[in-house]
Structure formats: C-alpha cells, structure tokens
Structure 1
Amino acid sequence: GLLEAEGAFAAEAARIDTEFQKIAGWSIIEELLRPEDRSRATSTVVAQAGNFLVQVALCAELAELDIRPATVVGHSAGEVAAAYIAGALSLHDALLASHHRARLQATTAGTGGMLAIGLPADTVRELIAEDQLVDIAAINSPTAVTLAGNETRLDEIAAPLIEDGVFAKRLQVEAPYHSHLMDPILDELRNVLTELQPTTPHIPLYSTVTGTRVTGPDWGADYWCDNTRHTVRFADTIRELIRAGHRVFLEIGPHPVLGANIREILRAAGETGTTIGTLNRKQHDTDSIRKILADLYAAGVLDIEGMFADLPTPTPHLDLPTYPWQKTHLRTEIPLNQLHLYGTPDSYTTLGDQDPEDSLRWQLELNMQVLPWLADHRVEGTRLMPATGYLDAALSAVLARTESTQAGVADVRFVTPLAIEDGQMPLMRFELEESTHRFTIRSRKTAGTAWTVNATGRLIEGAYDQIKAEVPPTYTMTEIDPATFYTTLATIG
C-alpha cells in the first residue's frame, strides 16, 4: 500500500532500491511486489533486504509527520537500519552490510535450527551448561530466550521442557543465526566490509551486541561480525533505555513482534510504558499510519504544534447553539459495577468476563443456568467440567484477542479435575502469559480462597500447520444404538 501511494515511503524506497541494485544486482521493490504465490520474501537474502527498506522508508514516512526518534535501537539484522537512521553508516555502507550479512548467512541454510524457550536466561544457561552444539542466540525478555545450533540437540532440549509444561517451540528459519554455525562466514564478512566508514551517530544509538550506548564510530567490519555471531542482548539494552528514562517504544517494521517482550521488561522493572507497532499484516497501511498517530497522541508524545506548524491559523472556536435539555435523570454505572451486575455482552460462554484491570485474565462463574450441559457431565455421580470446556475456553481466548478465523491450542495438560458440587457455583479463571502464549486455568469454590490448577497449555494465534486425521472407512465401524450406549455408560458410572 505504501509503495503504491507515491508518498515519502515510496520515494525513499525507490532511492534505497536504486543504490541496492548497484550492490546486489536485483531489485528489492520488485521482490516485495511479487504475488504471494511467487514471493521469495521468506528467504534470508530477500527478507533482510526487504526489512531494511521497509524500516528506513517507514522512518521517512513518519518524518513527514514530524515524528522522529529520540533514541534508536535495532534487533539483530534491524541494527543495520538503526545504524543508518542514527547516522552511524551512510546509505551505501548500510546496504553493503545488509546485503553481504544476509548473503553469507544464507550459505549456512540447513546447517542448524533455532528454538524459542519460555525460561529466564540464567536457567537456560544452566540447562545447556558447556554444550558445544547449541548457543544462546537471543535474550529478548526476562522469560524469552532463543537457542540456535544442532537441530537434533535442540529437539532433545525441547522434549523434556514441553513434557514439564514449559514453552519450547522450534522456529521456522533458514539458518541457525547467532550461533557457532556462523563462524565459517565471519572472515569473508569481515573482508567484504573492510571499507565501511562508520561515523559517530548524531541520534543516540544503543547496541544489542554490547547492551550499551554507542559513543564513537565503532560500527565497522568487526562490529558486524560480532552482530552476526554474538547473542542479541535485547533485554539488557531495553533495560538500559528504561534506566535512561525512555517509556514509549515505537517498533519500526512490517509487523510488530517485540512489543510483548518490551512490556514484560517494563513490568519486571516496575515501570509503566507504552509499546506501539507500525505496520500490521492484518490491516491496510493507511490505517496503520493513522493508528500510529492516534497511539502516539494517546501516549502523550506526539508534537501536535510541530505537525501543523505550516498550516494557516485555525478558525477560532465558536459557541454552539444551546441544547433544549430534557431534564431527565441519567444514571452512569461504574464499569466494574456493570461487569459484576451484567457480565460481558456477547462474551464467549466458557471463557467468561475479561478482567477490567488485566486484559490477560478472564473469569467465569460455573452456573447451571448459563451452562446447562454441566449437569450432564458426571463421573460416578460427581459433576465435572469436561476437558472440552477447557479447550473451548482456550480457543475462545484466541478469538477474543485476535478476531482471527484460525485458532489452535498445543501442549495441553489436564492437571486436576474441577468438581462442581450441588448448590455450588465455583469460579474458573483463565490466565495468559503474553510473551509465551502459555495459559493456565484455575478454579476455586464459591466461598474459598485457594486456587487449584486444572489445566495448562499454549495458544496458537494466526497461521499454523494443521494436522489432518485419517478417518477409518465406514465399513470398519460398528453402529451403536444411542440408548444402549448411554445405558452402558451409566452402568459403569
């Protein structure tokens, strides 16, 4: 959308693409405009060049609206765009670093993989100890670490974690970035980037290689080798930014991916802040730009006077005609009281009401009038919440959060049965971890205070691999009369 709008984004993209073609011999814009069925955007070489172009052109689009960064930080390949925006590299040098970094990384495709784990970094270090087959590739938040290395070893590490209910997921990537498997390309990378001429950044720039602010013209060939090989210290760097007083983070890119990590770091630091995305794959680019303006304004950092400085003096406010008041009483309910009295309109039945003070928590009163099917689910006379109830609550949470037509759950464990005694209406609470998408379902008796864990699992939001079950042919099946079936179930309780 932005490429075809002929605004600042498109103009900057064309300028970048012209310079890039001199280096690489192919067009980034041509690749970005390919139909999806013929797109190569997921390949390392195209993805990193495409990200650079989108990030830098977005900054140009925002600058037209007088939105400029106070400080810049990049994540992994994003450091190339950060270097250019902050003034540490010229456009030619930044594109040179971006192209050769991606080109050489692509040569390691298939040599290893990556694994995301929902544990603290210290725990992960103890887990892998002196393991020579894997490395910590990135530390993105207090409970989000990525490993890279030998694929078989990664699967061995993941298996017991998943069994224990810990988030562990293999990433769909071409190469084992930020691991020892990058070592074979470092000498050539250093050679092709020898002529880089870094300068001291004119906008404050922080490094996710060192976790500190850049103070000189340090981002030459050796730095980009470190950037390619070493752990991405994103969590450490964001902590430094928070300590420096920063509270509003604008994530520049084709889709927000780091917002949850930043929010977790803010919470761990005991600070309140805001994370704002730019483009979003689920909405039109024009809507995304408008939303950036709204979100920055709501965060209190949008310079309204600067944006409209060139406009003529606005018309002064005029008094509106008076209104013929009806003089009727108006009762305004406090939102929390409304929730307690009426619940949430059109809420998902098994998920319940969203906590007005915590968007990652829902609570449901197990009431026979609302959930009449609970009365039917008995085992040896005890009424139980069925497993499908937990699954429905989890799937409902995905739909409530994303409005996506695709929803899934994984790694589900049923821990403790939820018994519903006659005359009781226990509470069931659904809680979600933003960074790992892990969920926990707990319950307590109506008058009780102790919460019991009933089920755990992980939500899958967006596209995912669907597993198709093989259905046996009908001639191998035996038809059972429903009345006989239920009689048999009743006989065994």
Structure 2
Amino acid sequence: MKAYVFPGQGAQFTGMGLDLYERSAEAKELFEKANEILGFRITDIMFEGSADDLKQTKVTQPAIFLHSVILSKVMGDSFRPDMVAGHSLGEFSALVANGALNFEDGLKLVSRRALAMQEACEMKPSTMAAVLGLADEVVEEVCNSIDGVVVPANYNCPGQLVISGEIEAVEKACEGMKEKGAKRALLLPVGGAFHSPLMEPAREALATAIEQTVFNTPVCPVYQNVTTTAVTDPEAIKENLIAQLTAPVKWTQSVQQMIADGAQLFTEVGPGKVLQGLVKKIDRSAEVAAGEVPSAE
C-alpha cells in the first residue's frame, strides 16, 4: 500500500515551488489563486525571498502547504494514495490531498492557523527544545516532574523528541534530561511553545474557523497526529484537527500504525526530506521516496 506524507514547518527553502510554477500550467494557476486568497504575492517570497523572509509566520506555513498540495495535484496519475499523514502543519496538506478539504478552504485555514499561533506566541514567552537519546517514557517522566508548563510536543522517531512550554520550565527540563543521560537537550530557535497548553488561545481561534468549514469524506484515511489511527469521518477529522494545536504530534506512533495497516512505500510530498529520514529511523525496512516534479507540459 502507498502512504503519502506531508512535511511541517521548518522544511521551507528559498526558491521553493518555482520549478512547479514554471513547468506546469495547473501549478501556475493554483499559485496565482493563492496570491489572491492571501492578499499578497506569497510566490514572490517563495521564489525570490531570503531565508528570513520565509521565516515570517504569515509566510512559512502557507508556503509549505502550497508547495506540498500543488505538487500532489500536478503529480497526476502517479498520485494514488491508500493512506495519508502530515506532520503538524502537514496534516492540512494531507487533508487537501485526500479530498477532505478543498484547496481554497485548506489555504484559508492554514493562514488563519499561522496568525493564531503567532498571536498566542506573543501572549506569553515560551519555547521548545530537542531531546536526543532518551526513551519516550523518560522524557515524559522528566516533564511531569517540573513545576510549570513543559510537555512532549513531537514524537518524531525513537530517541528524538521535542518538548514545549514556558521558557524556565523547558530549561529546567533540559537539565533533567541531561542528568538522565540524554545525548543532547537544546533549545530550538522558535518563537513559541507549539503543541502545548500555551497554544490554547490559538486552538480556540482555529476551532471557530474549522467549525465553519465544510469537510468532505476523503478518498482514503488520514492518520492524524492526535489519534495516530486511520480516520475517514469528517466530524472526527475536524475534532482531531482542532485538538492538534495543544496536543503532541505522535509521528512515531502514526508511522508505526500505517506500517501495521499495510503501508510499504512512504512518499514525501513537499519541500525537504525530513519525513523520509524519520520514517527510516522508525522502521528501517520501510521504503521511502520523494514526490516527483512532473516533466514539462
């Protein structure tokens, strides 16, 4: 069975999407439609902007979403998913790719999500840290022992977790992780505590937008970050998408479940190769590939 996976924030790069825009009339049309929906020419920033330009919150998330979704649409007959999943932001790309959301609504929600997360970050100083070389249970145990808000945010692969929360609590947790034998526990250059209780204001703002959006029955299941299981019911998809902002991204568990359900080939659709690397670390026997840019029309 073929699984298609979609990357999240951090996969952006200068020039992303330009090859699609130049090679495919359909891609060009979708990029221009995105410029209209967003009210600014995101394509100019994607194709020619600096790394700092691409780091702007209002740009990063829609840019990665657009690269992923438009690539999936111009892959043509080769894009035949039996299951999909996305890492954090990538879940929105996955939901457009499997037909649960249309392109316009997906882009509007991603844009709203980015701005809501930025607003939540500005309310309270917070951060995230990468923890390498510890079992999940040890990371959870250390987080639970710290006063203040600090929680596991991303279960990326065995021995690679990200924690999230208040700055002081995250710093204390990093010290605790090192005492427990972590190879590394270092703060990440991010503006806030994503996938933690501190994202509650963003969750509330996004919930309103998601509840007002039409979700369809998808052509194949999505393995959502919150549940890690196959989901096809539109109402359940909505609930999980709303919960995602304050809940951990259970990527390890999602990939393991997809493999248990028959996934043999994982194709990463979008910028970068991060998810291909994580899938191989989760299960060495899994096959991985990158979504192909189509040849010139």
- TM class by shorter chain equals 0.7 to 0.9
Distance (whole Å) between structure 2 residues aligned to residue 121 and residue 211 of structure 1: 16
Task: Say if 1:144 and 1:261, in contact at 8 Å, map to a contact too.
Answer: no
DSSP-derived class of the 1:40 partner: helix
Deviates more, 1:71-80 or 1:223-232: 223-232
DSSP-derived class of the 2:280 partner: helix
Deviates more, 1:213-222 or 1:144-153: 213-222
Matched, 1:79 2:91: yes
> Which residue of the partner structure matches residue 33 of structure 1?
47
The aligned amino acid for 1:147 is I
1:257 positional shift: 1.2
> Which residue of the partner structure matches residue 254 of structure 2?
237
Q: 1:99 to 1:210 in 2, by over 3 A?
A: same
Q: Which among 49, 68, 73 is matched to residue 62 of structure 2?
A: 49
Q: Which among 104, 108, 112 is matched to residue 120 of structure 2?
A: 108
Distance (whole Å) between structure 2 residues aligned to residue 165 and residue 242 of structure 1: 28
The equivalences for 1:149-188 within 5 A come to 149-162=165-178, 164=181, 166-188=183-205
1:213 positional shift: 0.5
1:161 positional shift: 3.6
Task: Say if 1:200 and 1:216, in contact at 8 Å, map to a contact too.
Answer: yes
1:57 positional shift: 1.5
Distance (whole Å) between structure 1 residues aligned to residue 59 and residue 225 of structure 2: 23
1:114 positional shift: 0.6
Task: Say if 2:276 and 2:288, in contact at 8 Å, map to a contact too.
Answer: yes
Task: Say if 2:156 and 2:252, in contact at 8 Å, map to a contact too.
Answer: yes
Distance (whole Å) between structure 2 residues aligned to residue 77 and residue 216 of structure 1: 20
> Which residue of the partner structure matches residue 93 of structure 1?
105
Q: Which among 27, 33, 41 is matched to residue 18 of structure 1?
A: 33
RMSD: 2.5
> Which residue of the partner structure matches residue 246 of structure 1?
263
Unaligned runs of at least 5 residues, structure 1: 279-287, 294-493
> Which residue of the partner structure matches residue 128 of structure 1?
143
Q: Which among 210, 222, 246 is matched to residue 193 of structure 1?
A: 210
The aligned amino acid for 2:136 is A
Q: Percent identity?
A: 26
1:251 positional shift: 1.4
Q: Which among 273, 280, 292 is matched to residue 256 of structure 1?
A: 273
The equivalences for 1:406-417 within 5 A come to none
1:82 positional shift: 0.3
1:93 positional shift: 1.7
> Which residue of the partner structure matches residue 376 of structure 1?
none
1:117 positional shift: 0.9
DSSP-derived class of the 2:112 partner: helix
DSSP-derived class of the 1:107 partner: helix
The aligned amino acid for 1:49 is P
Deviations 1:158-181 (A, max 9, x none): 235446452212222222110111
> Which residue of the partner structure matches residue 12 of structure 2?
none
Q: 1:198 to 1:42 in 2, by over 3 A?
A: same
Distance (whole Å) between structure 2 residues aligned to residue 257 and residue 174 of structure 1: 21
Q: 1:128 to 1:70 in 2, by over 3 A?
A: same
Distance (whole Å) between structure 2 residues aligned to residue 220 and residue 20 of structure 1: 27
1:15 positional shift: 1.6
Q: Which has the higher contact order (CA 8 A, sep 6+)?
A: 2
1:275 positional shift: 2.1
Q: 1:204 to 1:221 in 2, by over 3 A?
A: closer
DSSP-derived class of the 2:154 partner: strand
Q: 1:26 to 1:222 in 2, by over 3 A?
A: farther
Distance (whole Å) between structure 2 residues aligned to residue 87 and residue 16 of structure 1: 19
Task: Say if 1:193 and 1:220, in contact at 8 Å, map to a contact too.
Answer: no
Distance (whole Å) between structure 2 residues aligned to residue 256 and residue 86 of structure 1: 21
TM-score by length of 2: 0.83
Q: 1:104 to 1:165 in 2, by over 3 A?
A: closer
The aligned amino acid for 1:128 is C
Task: Say if 1:17 and 1:28, in contact at 8 Å, map to a contact too.
Answer: no
DSSP-derived class of the 2:201 partner: helix
DSSP-derived class of the 2:194 partner: coil
1:256 positional shift: 1.2
> Which residue of the partner structure matches residue 10 of structure 2?
none
Deviations 1:88-138 (A, max 9, x none): 111122112111111100113352111111222111111112544111111
Larger of the two Rg values belongs to structure: 1
Task: Say if 1:13 and 1:53, in contact at 8 Å, map to a contact too.
Answer: no
1:19 positional shift: 4.5
Distance (whole Å) between structure 1 residues aligned to residue 65 and residue 33 of structure 2: 14
Q: 1:126 to 1:160 in 2, by over 3 A?
A: closer
Unaligned runs of at least 5 residues, structure 2: 1-14
Distance (whole Å) between structure 1 residues aligned to residue 240 and residue 32 of structure 2: 25
> Which residue of the partner structure matches residue 5 of structure 2?
none
1:189 positional shift: 1.9
Distance (whole Å) between structure 2 residues aligned to residue 162 and residue 140 of structure 1: 19
The aligned amino acid for 1:83 is L
Distance (whole Å) between structure 2 residues aligned to residue 133 and residue 219 of structure 1: 28
DSSP-derived class of the 1:188 partner: helix
> Which residue of the partner structure matches residue 351 of structure 1?
none
Task: Say if 1:196 and 1:221, in contact at 8 Å, map to a contact too.
Answer: no
The aligned amino acid for 2:264 is R
The aligned amino acid for 1:51 is I
